Structure 1
Amino acid sequence: MSCCAAGTESAAELEALKSEAPSPEELWLSSRKLDEGLRQVDLIVPGVHCGACIALLERELPRVPGVDHARVNLSTRRVSVVFEDRKEPEPLLAALGEKFNALGYPAHLPGGIDEKGDPAFRELLKALAVAGFASMNVMLLSVSVWSGAEAATRDLFHWISALIAAPALIYSGRIFFVSAWGALRHGRANMDVPISLGVILAYAISLHETITHGAHAYFDASVTLLFFLLAGRTLDHMMREKARSAVRNLVRLSPRGAMLIKDDGSREYLAIDEIEPGMRLAIAPGDRIPVDGRVVSGRSDMDFAVVNGESAPQLVEAGSLTPAGTLNLTGPLVLEATRSAQNSFLAEMVSMMEAAESGRAGYRRIADRASAIYAPVVHLLALGTFIGWMVVSGDWRMAMMTAVAVLIITCPCALGLAVPVVQVIAAGRLFENGIMVKDGSAMERMAQTDHVVFDKTGTLTQGKPRLINSDAVAADHLAIAARIARASRHPLSRALAAFDTAVADLPDFDIVEIPGDGVEARLADGTVYRLGRGAFALEGQGESYERAADASQVILSRNGQFLDVFLFSDQLRRGAAQAVARLLELGVQAEILSGDREAPVRGLAAELGVTEYMAGVRPRGKVDRVQSLSAAGGKPLMVGDGLNDAPALSAAHVSMAPASAADVGRMAADFVFLHDSLEAVPLAIAVSRKAGTLIRQNFALAIIYNCIAVPAAVLGHATPLIAALAMSSSSVLVVLNSLRLRRKTRIESFARPAVDQASDVAVPGAGLGASA
């Protein structure tokens, strides 16, 4: 059960959680700095189980003075709290910890109780087993009563049933009782309050009937009701645990630490959180890379499966970039850390996986609002049913049992499961195919996409161009351009930088990169070299030097005067043509926006069958085009990889970037695909659309269920047992409908090509902009 579903923690476990609560000092050390004077700390809150829990925490935590906002992830039960970066944060953090306990949601840091297995699932299974055993035995005794047992024999069977049901209700029912009491103690109600009332009242009425020698008792209904409720809750827990396991599997790819090589050559083991950029690390064969880094020395085969889905080893050597989580297979390496663990590629993937279900998407908000009004409405409805039946029949037993049935049958479990189960399965499907999604709202927006805007270099093409006129350019010009190009991570820059050699008489440059234009290098004597697009390098006079060939070009100038032109060829990214064809099948139009010249862009568009394209587009122009599509009523998807694409990625209705994109581009994108194939784009659209269809179907199933079940219960046509069976069946039906998303489609059967060079995998980069 999802909606307002409570935890399985016993009182002892809750006290244990409180004892694990971090101190203000631990909270501060575990937090990380954000922009604009803010910090963020992530906490595990095992008591989070439903939309009502999310709404309560996100509403109440910001009321702590100094807390900016809080976001809750239901699948991972992780709460991210953003607070002010103060000089004396202890009072704020102490108040935050007290707030968690006051709300009844003890919290601890990741790696604590929640990471030591799954005690909640074990408790659910044990409670389910006890309830099942009791219900079977009580049902056997009930059959004898129904078969005609009377007087003393009937009373004996009723007393035996009461003795069997009592310990079962106490043991198995505590799952609901503890949660209901915790909610009432903190002045709120959740789904377990009416469930607890229903179970207790069914047993109490049955016990009264037994004591007064009544003909009917409902012990079978009370324990069987509990069995079905626990079965549904266990099913939901299994679904959420499957989603959380993907995140845990990623976390396990990160080692605890690494061996630091000091300046004097000695070695010291450092915990992963202590590793800082610039440190040199010794990586032995069989070790996983702890943080993003660059190989300083050594050669080895590396497993990049976590990055691109390929199991084939790839060679790395000095200069190769190695993302965190990749596995060193054969040789020892010396690695220079380029980023901390908190900012590594692996941490970024974990963060996106955790966020996949936490977005406040439109469908999710609908379900959460419906869940929030559940408790008062169902209690009023049950009370009205009791009063109505008392007035009509005067039979308080009948009125009470009918009210109990209403309490149970109106549980909005199907409604609560309608959205998160689909989003969890959809995020898992995408992750299996190497696509990371930030949150559920991104999937909703992806499903609405009707127009895809592609960047060219690094997106439609592999972004690994070759310099094709090295023999035609002056050697000194090539040396200068290669040295300047080292300052940029744009694909054309990297191709040029490969020609950098140790030329002793080359001066030192003061280099500045201008995204979308190129790189400017100044000498101490005032000489200015520019490398990039013609208009930038030659101060608006570049057109006369640009050639008509279908090749990307970069111009080198000195003080605004032309020196040389460098021509590059690039290859299509794998699956580009198939992606465009499948987008057309989905009814989605594609176009190309590129900063490159007209000739190569036109040739690429013709090769892919794209009729709409624009060349020579600056970053501002990409934003304007995306905004114009939105203003015309379209829902554009922007697919780009460079620093100059980041504004357009943010402006689009939804956005997507390859893992090799610049850091800013990946952060701005809603989806990130980890392999080379562009067929990730139509696949993300197809899965998102299917998810949206299933969510709407789930809503329809939940509404139909309530339209039929609630009137039936109010009119007395459903016993508590039938009510429990109907409620659990509706939840199972929603889950089974959601599982249809697991079926693979033709569009999903693309191959994941191997990446040619390990140094080109998941590499952060900035844009030169000459041919973006």
Structure 2
Amino acid sequence: MCCTDMALAYVEAHGAWSAANTLPSLGRDYAAFVAPLPDGSARAEFAVEGIRCAACMGAIEGGLAPLPGLAAARLNVSDRRLAVTWRPGAVPDIPAVLGALASLGYSAQPFAPGRRAEAEAAETERLIRALAVAGFASMNVMLLAVSVWAGAASDMSPETRDLFHWIQAVIALPAAAYAGRPFYEGALRGLRAGRVGMDVPITLGVVLTLAASVCETLAGATHAYFDGAVMLLFFLLIGRVLDQAMRRRTRAFAENLAALRSERATLAEADGSLRDVPLADLAPGARILIRPGERVPADGVVEHGTSDLDQSLVTGETAAVTVRGGDRVFAGALNGNGALTVKVTAAAGTTLLDEVEGLMRRALERRSRALVLADRATRLYVPLVHGAAAVTLAGWLAAGAGWHLALLDAVAVLIVTCPCALGLAIPAVQVVAAGALFREGVLLNDGTALERFAGIDTVVFDKTGTLTLPEPVLAPGFSDPVALASAARLALSSRHPMAAALAEAAGGATPYPGAEEAAGLGVRALVDGVEMRLGSAGFCDAGPEASAALKADPEASVICFRAGDGDAVAFPIRQALRPDAREVVAALAAAGLRVAILSGDRAPAVAAVARRLGVAEWEAGLTPGDKIARIDALRASGRRVLMVGDGLNDAPALAAARASLSPVTAAHVSQAAADALFLGRGLSPVLSVLAAGRRARRLMLQNLWFSAAYNLLAVPLAAAGLLTPLIAALAMSGSSLVVTANALRARQVPVSPVSPAGLGAPVPARRGRIPSVPRAA
């Protein structure tokens, strides 16, 4: 199927833009595929195959730049996702983009999360099969090679030696043809596009070694080098599989955002009838019905009805929010206990969820542009390897050696410099460090994040669900057990999150029979002729009691209870701090790191938490855009920020920060944006990732320096003809083993649960408030 057909299939399968959003200058086939933007420009996204390293970024973005009307092309290397934007008024030419990518050696198709997941799973399976074939062939060919080596020192006849060489050829040639496909395809794709990447020297080394081995076998020579070729592929495939296993799949954020979207909506017609319609058919001004338990499909204003909305994933607000006529609601919020009629103000493409997705996408694109250690090493490696092999070949020919000897020495240079050690230097440390962090309760999503964790000097926390535990609890010190027991039994009949905190106090008690919930107000029951109520202050006529409770505990929200004509009781409900939050914040400060809190919650609640933790820098009531602006201001001032957050409103900030961490209870989209997730109720994993990052970076640098030293020693020997391809292959294998052994030192995370030990020398801290930036609209 060609790229154009795939684009049309995507449009037909997924739908998307309504007639109101169609770009009139586009043909019918592509109108649904291109997203028009508010400023008159247009945007399209593609999944690009064949991307191996950061060098592909410059090739693709530079190759697309000359296209007419193109404003920008931005490649996210992590998820191989290309975003193309056309200038206002320009006609989006999708076939031209697909053709340009094909001429550069890359295949592309419209970005579809489900298809992308299938492609990545297929690629992983292909690499594992190739690794298995290379490993099997290496073991058998090496056994035969050892027999030849031993026979050379004894009485093995030339005929037996040649037979063993041919058996090696029968095993090695088909195995190398199959196992080396990922490298051969990458090399051919790059050469067709005029690019020379890491796959080219690998392919040259393997093909020339196999060709030289066949020639030596045909000539009845003493040595053949089939074992070197298949071992080389085996080690390289180990690195490629490790890299694939640790690669961050940031495509997940699109799927997780989709989980918060309602694909369809219930449209309320003017005659009172209801009609189920696709979300794309909604337009501003339409009226929709949102039933209890449904997610709000579009931003709007409540016209009729009262209900409690769980907006914690959207705004970060701790408590459920009661909405009624005239109140705003946002797409993605979960409706509680009442039906709502909402007038749509922002439909598909312009909702708060879409804004969050756009912020996240831009942040991820920006982060993917930072080169990691392996990318920087790769840029220097390829030209040096080719130059060394070419100089060796030309030098021996100029010295009068024959083509046979000159070619063997050039092949030896290619083999001895083959990037096994370089290819394993980074992934091996990543995998070992990931295992060590797993034992500390941290799940590493992105292996490259270890390098970013190593340089952190500022830690920014969200409050709700991050510094505090995700579930609300009854504030300590309440002294009316009779009222608490009655309220807890009544709370068992409510779905409100604050009622759930009270319900825990019910123990093994059962709910009151006949209890009923009043939408958006609370729950009531008639018990022995006495009406009991649990809910809002107005529902329980408990205004003074609620005000007094909030004054005593500004961090809390209140839920009220009244039994008949008795005195009302206000129960303060709040989210408790994580058990070790104070110790972790103190350890970070002791290590010289700057600590701040950025939250979307109410100022009194944030101030109370900051005061209890001893954090001087905090801000409250921030939108997702505000959080990104604060992090950008910190970065502009030279800070390297670790963001720790859990809500949907934290996801763009998690993507924008240098590194990010989320609790495993976080919103799915935040989990997708974070570099690592931590388990348990404590915050000590924050210390663990920082310590592990610094140790891992040291080991990575040691491996890279060892690889450089090894090449500086081995290349002159190979170029001088002192290393045969066989010895070169053994040296290459030995260097890979040394790198792997050094990587195993990352198994220990040198940090205790709540101490700064292992974080290294304190980073000079620049104190003061977070730089002031304009508040996002």
> Aligned partners of 2:76 and 2:108: how far apart in 1?
13
Distance 1:461 1:377, change over 3 A: closer
2:590 is aligned, of 562, 580, 585, to 585
2:59: which partner in 1?
A: 56
C-alpha contact (below 8 Å) 2:584/2:687 kept by paired residues: no
1:379 paired residue number: 386
Count of residue correspondences: 609
Describe the shift of the 1:721–1:712 C-alpha distance in structure 2 as closer, same or farther (beyond 3 A): same
Residue 700 (structure 1) aligned with residue 680 (structure 2) = no
Question: Equivalent residue for 2:161?
Answer: 154
Which residue is 1:624 aligned to?
none
Note if 1:123 corresponds to 2:126: yes
Q: Is this contact kept in 2: 1:357–1:423, CA < 8 A?
A: no
Residue pair 1:592, 1:605 contacting (<8 A) in 2 also: yes
1:225 and 2:248 correspond: no
8 Å contact kept, 1:68–1:83: yes
Q: In structure 2, what is the Cα distance between the partners aligned to 1:399 and 1:345?
A: 63
Give 1:642's aligned residue.
Answer: 622
Matched, 1:141 2:144: yes
- TM-score, scaled relative to structure 2: 0.61
How far the C-alpha of 1:360 sits from its partner, in A, is 5.1
**Aligned mates of 2:204, 2:257 — CA distance in 1:** 41
What per-residue deviation string (whole Å, max 9, x for no partner) do you get for residues 330-351 of structure 1? 9896685776565555994797
> Could you report, residue by residue, the CA deviation over 1:460-506 in whole angstroms, capped at 9, with x for unpaired residues?
999x9xxxxxxxxxxxxxxxxxxxxxxxxxxxxx9xxx8899xxxxx
Name the CA distance, whole Å, in 2 between partners of 1:276 and 1:145.
Answer: 77
1:43 aligns to 2:46 (yes or no): yes
How do residues 267-416 of structure 1 correspond to structure 2 at under 5 angstroms?
Answer: 268-271=275-278, 274=281, 280=288, 343=351, 345=353, 348=356, 352=360, 359=367, 364=371, 367-388=374-395, 394=401, 397=404, 399-412=406-419
Aligned 8 A contact 1:158 1:217 in 2: yes
1:71 aligns with: 74
| Structure 2 partner of 1:250 | 256
Q: Does 1:89 align with 2:91?
A: yes
User: Is 1:200 matched with 2:196?
Assistant: no
Q: 1:724 to 1:570 in 2, by over 3 A?
A: same
Cα 1:715–1:698 change in 2 (3 A) is same
1:185–1:606 CA distance, 2 compared to 1 (3 A):
closer
Aligned-partner Cα distance in 1 for 2:619–2:642:
6
**Aligned amino acid, residue 586 of structure 1:** A
Report the Cα distance in structure 2 between the residues aligned to 1:258 and 1:339, rounded to whole angstroms: 15
* Alignment map for 1:686-725 (pairs within 5 Å): 687-688=689-690, 690-716=692-718, 717=723, 719-725=727-733
Q: Is the 8 A contact 2:55 2:379 kept in 1?
A: yes
Cα offset, 1:707, TM superposition: 0.8
| Structure 1 Cα separation of the partners of residues 662 and 130 of structure 2 | 42
- Find the residue that maps to 2:231 and give its secondary structure: helix
How far apart, in 1, do the equivalents of 2:214 and 2:143 lie? 18
Alpha-carbon displacement from aligned partner over 1:64-119 (angstroms, at most 9, x marks no partner): 23323333223322122233232x5244x332222111111111112274333522
- Larger deviation: 74-83 or 708-717? 708-717
Alignment of 1:728-739 (within 5 A): 728-729=736-737, 732=740
Give the % identical residues.
31
> TM-score, structure 1 length as denominator?
0.61
Q: Distance in 1 between matches of 2:261 and 2:75?
A: 27
The whole-number CA distance in structure 2 between the counterparts of 1:708 and 1:228 is 17
Residue ranges of structure 1 left out of the alignment (5+ in a row):
1-14, 465-493, 502-547, 553-568, 614-637, 749-768
- Call closer, same or farther: CA 1:672–1:123 in 2, change over 3 Å: closer
Note if contact 1:260-1:281 (Cα within 8 Å) is conserved in structure 2: yes
1:53 is aligned with what amino acid? C
The code of the aligned residue for 2:716 comes to V
Q: What are the Cα deviations for residues 576-619 of structure 1, in whole angstroms up to 9, with x where unaligned? A: 6456434323333558999xxx9999998765445x68xxxxxx
Partners of 1:422 and 1:341 in 2: CA distance: 44
- The 8 Å contact of residues 293 and 335 in structure 1, kept in 2 or not, is answered as no
Partner of 1:761: none
Mapped partners of 1:103, 1:299: distance in 2:
55
- Whether the aligned pair in 2 keeps the contact of 1:258 and 1:269 (CA below 8 Å) is yes
Matched, 1:20 2:6: yes
Aligned to 1:98: 99
Tell me how large the CA RMSD over aligned residues is.
6.1
Which secondary structure state, in structure 2, belongs to the residue aligned with residue 70 of structure 1?
strand
1:672 and 1:158, CA in 2 relative to 1: closer, same or farther beyond 3 A?
closer
Q: Tell me, in whole angstroms, the C-alpha distance in 2 between the residues paired with 1:690 and 1:600.
A: 33
Partner amino acid for 2:266?
L
| Residues 572, 667 of structure 1: alpha-carbon distance in 2 compared, 3 angstrom cutoff | same
Unaligned ranges ≥5, structure 2: 12-25, 473-519, 521-535, 540-550, 556-571, 667-677, 756-774
C-alpha separation in 2, matches of 1:418 and 1:355: 28
CA spacing shift, 1:153–1:446, aligned 2, 3 Å: closer
3-state SS, counterpart of residue 72 of structure 2: strand
Q: Distance in 2 between matches of 1:409 and 1:307?
A: 56
